[in-house]
Amino acid sequence: MNFIRDNIFLICVALYCIGALAWPYIRKGAKITNSQATKIINKGKTAIIDIRDQKQYQAGHILNAIHVPFSNLEQRVSKLEKFKGQPVIIVDESGKESDKAAAILKKEGFSQVNILKGGMSSWVGEGLPVTK
């Protein structure tokens, strides 16, 4: 007990540093692999949000993906309200824009936001199914 009392300042600084390092990962969605995404999708009641542009989406997308281009995401987030209580998987081409999209959804109250690591490039590269 003396240790805690004598070192309370150092303990607080350590906890603050841990929180500061973890914050970027907490703020963004969890990055998940293709196999993790497949497991979540197979459990059902998962919203897959494809944020790529129209041309990329039409070339091939994950079955039942909802197309909301990143450029329109903030304007159309209200149409995604019904998915707030469900796991959400954000898909882009390579996984680079998904962090921004995840931050937008988290700010709007979505709690189970996941990012497909590597995006559609990775999904297609592993030979996983796509539909047009």
Two structure tokens written together for 131:
């539909």
pLDDT digits (tens, 9 = 90+) for 80-112: 988 988 999 999 988 778 889 999 999 888 989
Two structure tokens written together for 83:
């998915």
DSSP state at residue 48: E
* Structural domains of the chain ordered from first start: 29-125 (3.40.250.10)
pLDDT digits (tens, 9 = 90+) for 36-82: 999 999 988 899 999 999 999 999 999 999 999 999 899 998 889 88
- CA dist 25 and 18 (Å) reads 12
Q: HEC profile for 13-32?
A: HHHHHHHHHHHHHHHCCEEE
